[in-house]
């Protein structure tokens, strides 16, 4: 790094910032002029995340594994995790409530629908959205084929409607004659004419994007086995459910995650809307900077009703060095999954599967272990997350059984159960990485470090509080951030005695300000 800068930016640096639209407040001359040689080196704010398990391709059934590994490698060696989560969520939504599992041997009242909520956390460079889009192309293919069938059926229906009009007009003469001769015969003819109409075709849907709950409710009435909602940025959706007036939307999605209930609401002008089956799977990405404010909202209990914990397949993988890859796709692996989706889309409705003897033993041992783990858990957010694994493990086991054993499966075996347990252990490490950040003081420090250029130099704590920045809105958060940045040499705290109460100001390390310019902490 260049040496010799004073604690203020040079004129050339100010001009560069003004050209880029950044506002710089040049501090007045002070008797305190520290050259860079006098400033200690800053200690960068790294992610400092809890470790997570790497995704092993063996966690996927054979028919999914080759496609996932090939797709991740061709996308410049990106994590397999996003492809695996995406394809499993898509399969769960395709099965929906047409087939469920009763996890316990004797308690048949507890059934689990395998619709799942999943997401991927990472910066844009991790290509999580392209990975999820690739995972969803099999569902979207079904959607496109369904649209073609609907268009053909609609054209046939409309032609039949026109034919009925001409038929009825032609029958009017005979109806008048019959009415003169035999009233009962005329009545029978009229009823027959009314019964001739066909029902309007319904388009089968598989995927939805940004829909109101009213529209989503209409689609669910036509597609009662379930739908997959894909959101490019999940935190925008999560935050929208916290706004005033959106309480019913939130209740709708909480119920939709269960997949076993109904839902109704009353609207002026539209009456009561009743949906007999509410089954919605969710998939989308989250950027870390947008996740931190949402996690902080859970710190004081706001927004902590278990909505985030329903994202059971939420992963935040470590990313290897990307590299340029130019390789032909594995067409055969993709075709196998296309064929698999086509078969599962015709799965008969109403099936309730149980574990076989060996599979039940795996579930029972795992379930006992989970109850002990939940009892010992000290992080309340993590505890809430683990409780929802009670339905996650059997959901995954059911999906894997249908993928490996076919739609004719009558029970869920040991192989599917063991694979589901391995997934739960892998996912738990990612959940712990997420929830460990709720009480992490580095979150507020990271926010403030990125906004130093928007403050005068020097500045006081109140000037930070007055900004009302997310993550720095409370006095405690501001103090945490200032203390952490001072420990990392981003700032130096100076106490000024002016005869009254001592005033504390914060002077910025020139290296920290330059780092903010180039975007490298």
Q: What is the largest CA-CA distance in the chain?
A: 116
Q: What is the pLDDT of residue 153?
A: 86
Identify which of 423, 375, 374, 433 has the alpha carbon closest to the alpha carbon of residue 395: 423
- The answer to whether residue 35 scores a pLDDT higher than 80 is no
Burial of 285 (0-12, 13-18, 19+ CB in 10 A): buried
Using CA atoms, how far residue 164 sits from 191, 200, 518, in Å, is 14, 14, 72
Half-sphere exposure of 151 (CA within 13 A, CB side): 6
Residue 183 domain flag: yes
Residues 285 and 390 in one domain: yes
- The answer to whether residue 402 scores a pLDDT higher than 60 is yes
Identify which of 514, 518, 492 has the alpha carbon closest to the alpha carbon of residue 39: 492
Residue 339 domain flag: yes
Using CA atoms, how far residue 71 sits from 141, 216, 315, in Å, is 17, 31, 18
Residues 231 and 352 in one domain: yes
pLDDT digits (tens, 9 = 90+) for 403-426: 999 999 999 999 999 999 999 999
Q: Residue 161 is part of which domain span?
A: 148-195
Residue 161 domain flag: yes
Average pLDDT of the residues in 89-113: 96
Contact 205, 227 (CB under 8 A): yes
161-165, 407-411, 477-481 — which is least confidently predicted? 161-165
Give the domain CATH number at 474.
Answer: 1.10.10
Spatial distance between the Cα atoms of 344 and 433, rounded to a whole number of angstroms: 34
Backbone angles phi, psi at 80, to 5 degrees: -70, -25
Spatial distance between the Cα atoms of 150 and 131, rounded to a whole number of angstroms: 29
- The answer to whether residue 517 scores a pLDDT higher than 60 is no
Contacts of 81 (CB under 8 A, 6+ apart): 55, 120, 315, 317
Average pLDDT of the residues in 282-311: 79
Residues 158 and 37 in one domain: no
Burial of 189 (0-12, 13-18, 19+ CB in 10 A): middle
Q: What is the pLDDT of residue 379?
A: 87
Residues 514 and 425 in one domain: no
Q: What is the pLDDT of residue 27?
A: 42
Which of 34-43, 191-200, 462-471, 492-501 has the highest average model confidence (pLDDT)?
Answer: 462-471
In 3-state terms, what secondary structure has residue 411?
strand
Spatial distance between the Cα atoms of 355 and 311, rounded to a whole number of angstroms: 25
pLDDT digits (tens, 9 = 90+) for 183-192: 776 667 666 6
18-27, 290-299, 305-314 — which is least confidently predicted? 18-27
Pairing of β 351-355 and β 491-496: unpaired
First and final C-alpha spacing in the chain? 13
Residue 32 domain flag: yes
Q: Percentage of residues in the chain with pLDDT exceeding 70?
A: 81
Which stretch of DSSP H or E encloses residue 412?
A: strand 411-412
Q: What is the pLDDT of residue 16?
A: 44
Last residue of a domain, one of 435, 458, 490: 435
Residue with the bigger pLDDT between 107 and 11: it is 107
Residue 234 domain flag: yes
Backbone angles phi, psi at 463, to 5 degrees: -65, -25
- pLDDT category at 289 given cuts 50, 70, 90 is confident
Give exposure, 218-254, as e/b (b: 16+ Cβ within 10 Å).
ebbeebbbbbbbbbeebbebbbebeeeeeeebbebbb
Give the domain CATH number at 405.
Answer: 3.40.50
- The answer to whether residue 8 scores a pLDDT higher than 80 is no
Pairing of β 263-267 and β 351-355: unpaired
Overall size of the chain counted in residues: 521
Q: How far is CA 130 from the centre of its chain?
A: 14
Residues 115 and 223 in one domain: yes
Q: What is the pLDDT of residue 173?
A: 64
Pairing of β 271-275 and β 263-267: antiparallel
Pairing of β 280-286 and β 491-496: unpaired
Residue 96 domain flag: yes
Half-sphere exposure of 133 (CA within 13 A, CB side): 7
Last residue of a domain, one of 435, 456, 483: 435
Residue 5 domain flag: no
ω into residue 313 within 30 of 0, thus cis? Answer: no
Residues 287 and 388 in one domain: yes
- The answer to whether residue 32 scores a pLDDT higher than 50 is no
Average pLDDT of the residues in 250-269: 83
In 3-state terms, what secondary structure has residue 19?
helix
pLDDT digits (tens, 9 = 90+) for 356-379: 999 999 999 999 999 999 999 988
Residues 324 and 257 in one domain: yes
Identify which of 291, 326, 323, 330 has the alpha carbon closest to the alpha carbon of residue 127: 323
Q: Percentage of residues in the chain with pLDDT exceeding 90?
A: 52
Residue 171 domain flag: yes
- The answer to whether residue 514 scores a pLDDT higher than 50 is yes
Residues 162 and 44 in one domain: no
Q: Nearest 10 degrees: CA dihedral of 195, 200, 206, 211?
A: -120
Q: What is the pLDDT of residue 28?
A: 38
Burial of 290 (0-12, 13-18, 19+ CB in 10 A): middle
Mean pLDDT of the chain: 84
Average pLDDT of the residues in 486-494: 90
What is the tally of structural domains in the chain? 3
Contact 258, 116 (CB under 8 A): no
Last residue of a domain, one of 133, 160, 195: 195
Residues 408 and 315 in one domain: yes
Residues 162 and 301 in one domain: no
Contacts of 452 (CB under 8 A, 6+ apart): 490, 508, 512, 513, 516
Q: What is the pLDDT of residue 417?
A: 98
Residues 293 and 152 in one domain: no
- pLDDT category at 137 given cuts 50, 70, 90 is very high
Residues 260 and 178 in one domain: no
Burial of 61 (0-12, 13-18, 19+ CB in 10 A): buried
């Amino acid at each position: 790094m260049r040496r010799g800068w004073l604690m203020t930016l040079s004129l050339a640096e100010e001009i560069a910032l003004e050209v880029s639209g950044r506002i710089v407040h040049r501090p007045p001359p002070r008797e305190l002029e520290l050259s860079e040689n006098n400033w200690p080196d800053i200690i960068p704010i790294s992610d400092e995340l809890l470790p997570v398990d790497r995704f092993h391709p063996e966690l996927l059934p054979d028919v999914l594994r080759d496609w996932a590994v090939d797709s991740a490698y061709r996308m410049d060696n990106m994590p397999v995790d996003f492809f695996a989560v995406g394809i499993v969520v898509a399969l769960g939504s395709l099965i929906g409530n047409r087939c469920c599992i009763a996890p316990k041997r004797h308690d048949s009242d507890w059934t689990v629908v395998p619709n799942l909520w999943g997401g991927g956390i990472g910066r844009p460079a991790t290509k999580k959205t392209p990975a999820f889009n690739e995972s969803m192309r099999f569902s979207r293919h079904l959607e496109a084929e369904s649209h073609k069938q609907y268009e053909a059926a609609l054209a046939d229906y409309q032609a039949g409607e026109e034919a009925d009009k001409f038929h009825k007009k032609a029958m009017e003469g005979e109806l008048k004659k019959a009415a003169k001769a035999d009233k009962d015969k005329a009545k029978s003819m009229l009823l027959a004419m009314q019964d001739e109409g066909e029902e309007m075709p319904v388009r089968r849907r598989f995927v939805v994007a940004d829909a109101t709950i009213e529209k989503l409710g209409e689609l669910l009435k036509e597609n009662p086995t379930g739908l997959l909602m894909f959101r490019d940025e999940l935190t925008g959706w999560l935050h929208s459910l916290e706004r005033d007036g959106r309480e019913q939307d939130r209740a709708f999605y909480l119920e939709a995650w269960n997949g076993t209930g109904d839902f109704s609401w009353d609207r002026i002008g539209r009456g009561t809307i009743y949906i007999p089956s509410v089954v919605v799977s969710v998939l989308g990405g989250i950027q870390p900077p947008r996740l931190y404010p949402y996690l902080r909202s859970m710190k004081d209990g706001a927004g902590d009703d278990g909505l985030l914990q329903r994202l059971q397949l939420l992963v935040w993988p470590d990313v290897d060095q990307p590299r340029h890859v130019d390789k032909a796709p594995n067409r055969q692996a993709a075709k196998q999954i296309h064929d698999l989706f086509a078969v599962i889309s015709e799965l008969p409705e109403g099936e309730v599967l149980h574990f076989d003897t060996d599979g039940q033993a795996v579930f029972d041992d795992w379930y006992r272990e989970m109850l002990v783990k939940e009892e010992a858990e000290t992080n309340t957010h993590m505890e809430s997350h683990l409780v929802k694994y009670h339905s996650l493990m059997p959901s995954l086991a059911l999906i894997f059984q249908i993928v490996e054993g076919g739609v004719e499966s009558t029970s869920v075996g040991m192989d599917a159960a063991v694979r589901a347990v391995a997934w739960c252990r892998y996912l738990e490490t990612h959940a712990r990485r997420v929830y460990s950040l709720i009480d992490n003081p580095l979150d507020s420090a990271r926010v403030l470090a990125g906004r130093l250029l928007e403050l005068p130099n020097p500045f006081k704590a109140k000037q930070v509080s007055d900004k009302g920045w997310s993550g720095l809105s409370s006095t405690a958060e501001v103090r945490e951030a200032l203390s952490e940045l001072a420990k990392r040499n981003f700032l130096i705290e100076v106490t000024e005695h002016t005869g009254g109460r001592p005033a504390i100001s914060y002077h910025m390390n020139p290296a920290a300000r330059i780092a903010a310019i180039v975007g490298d902490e």
